[in-house]
Structures are given as C-alpha cells and as structure tokens.
Amino acid sequence: NTIGFNKTKVDPADMQSLASLTSDKYKGKIAIYDYYLPVIGMAALAIGKKTADLTEADLPALKAELLKMKANAKLVGEVTASQTALATGEVDVLVGGGEWVTAGLAKENPALDFSIPKEGAVLWSQSLAMFKESKNKDMALKFIQYILSPEGQARLATSSCYWGMPSNKKAALTDEQKKILRFDEQPGFLARAQAYPAPNADLDKKMQDMWTEMLQAQ
C-alpha cells in the first residue's frame, strides 16, 4: 500500500514523498483507500514512525496526519470506488493504492503509475497454510508447491483481480510484465517497506475509533 497516481496529471517527482499527500498542490485531487491499517501505516511513515513500534502514545500524531490527508481528499472509498476514481480521472492520486491498483490497468491506461516514496510504503503479504486435519495433505502440499513455483507465481502475479509482485524471483513473467511490475526496482522497494501495523486488541479498537473519527471529519 503506497501512492498510485496519474503521471500525466501530477508531477511524478512529488510522488516520491508522502509529504505530497498533505500539500495544497493536490487538494481535492486525492482519494484515500478506506482500510485503516495500511493508511495508518502510511501516516506513521510520514511522521517518521515505524509501523512495528506504534503505541497508544502515537495516536494523537497519527490522527493529526490522517486529518491533514482527509482535508486534501475528494473521497474515501473501498477498493472499487477508490480504484475507479483514479482510473476515470475523478482523482489524480490514490493513498493506499499502488502496484496492485495500477499494474493491472497498465495496458488500458498507461498513464497510471505508482511510487514507493523515500519514507517507505506498507508491505502487504499473504500466506498459504495446510489444515492439520486435512484429508488431502498430499494434494494440498502439491498445490502450495505449485503456487510457489515459477509458473504459479507468474499466474498469481498477473491474476485478473489484481497484479502483485511475486515472492519467487524466478517467476515466469514476460519482459513486458516485469516492466509493468518494475521487477528490477524491487530490492529498493523492499528496503523501504515496512509491515502492516499489528496492534493488540485494545490498540486495534482505538485505531478503528480514530479511523472512524477521521472519516466523519468535515
């Protein structure tokens, strides 16, 4: 989760810093992805905090940063609404978007791009697991092995619902697909990335309350 943008409508150089999200230059041209954890993570990076170290004491500063983002935003919406707003030109910047939003639309709209700002981005990941009591462990293991194989990783990376960077460097991607995913830049991206915030139950509730207050702010 990072910044998605239309490079014909904004200065790509501005998108190399999270400070652009609260700049008057882009007031009314921004959409925010309506999922509290990654965007709170982005707010943390913007104020120099590590996502893994967030505590209740950080909430006032995080709330202030979120409110500044909200003041610049034209809309806050779930996946479809926020992605559509960027794709149709309703907004020029998507906070919380990034590769998973723009890569799959690259052929239809090559003006869409993403950045991993100097402050970093929030690394989304997923895992595969086999049930302990599975009655088909051999087949389950084969499926997991396939998903992690070069062929399986390539299919997952370019799936119809969204594109995403594969975890296997040997993923069987074409040169064009690698270019769209900016495969060669991944080491630098990973070096600047931090994991989703992982709050305990009490802090999670407070973060959700803070997010609701941000949504309701005028």
pTM of the shown model: 0.89
pLDDT for the residue 106:
79
pLDDT for the residue 98:
84
pLDDT at position 47 over 90: yes
Which residue's structure tokens are 């993570």? 41
C-alpha separations of 154 from 17, 85, 93, 146 in Å: 30, 28, 28, 11
Q: Which long-range contacts (CB under 8 A, 24 or more apart) does 65-69 make?
A: 65/22, 66/39, 66/40, 66/210, 66/211, 66/214, 67/214, 67/217, 68/22, 69/21, 69/22, 69/30, 69/32, 69/39, 69/43, 69/95
pLDDT over 90 percentage in the chain: 83
Output the DSSP codes for 26-80: GTTSEEEES-HHHHHHHHHHHTT--GGG--GGGHHHHHHHHHHHHHHEEEEE-HH
Judged by DSSP in three states, 101 sits in: helix
Q: Is 110 left (phi over 0), alpha (psi -120 to 50) or beta?
A: alpha
Instruction: Looking at the chain, list the stretches that DSSP marks H as alpha helix, in order from N- to C-terminal side.
Output: 36-46, 59-72, 79-88, 99-102, 137-148, 150-157, 175-181, 186-192, 201-216
pLDDT for the residue 147:
95
Residue-wise pLDDT for 57-96, tens only, equals 999 999 999 999 999 999 999 988 999 999 999 999 999 9
Domain ranges of the chain: 2-125+193-216, 137-184
189's CB contacts (< 8 A; 6+ apart) are 116, 121, 165, 182
Average pLDDT over residues 167-194: 92
Which residue's structure tokens are 């030109």? 89
pLDDT at position 218 over 80: no
**Average pLDDT of every residue of the chain:** 94
Both structure tokens of 129: 């697991």
Q: Are 167 and 156 in contact (CB under 8 A)?
A: no
| CATH domain 2-125+193-216 topology | D-Maltodextrin-Binding Protein; domain 2 (3.40.190)
C-alpha separations of 8 from 12, 110, 147, 203 in Å: 9, 10, 36, 40
138's CB contacts (< 8 A; 6+ apart) are none
pLDDT at position 103 over 90: no
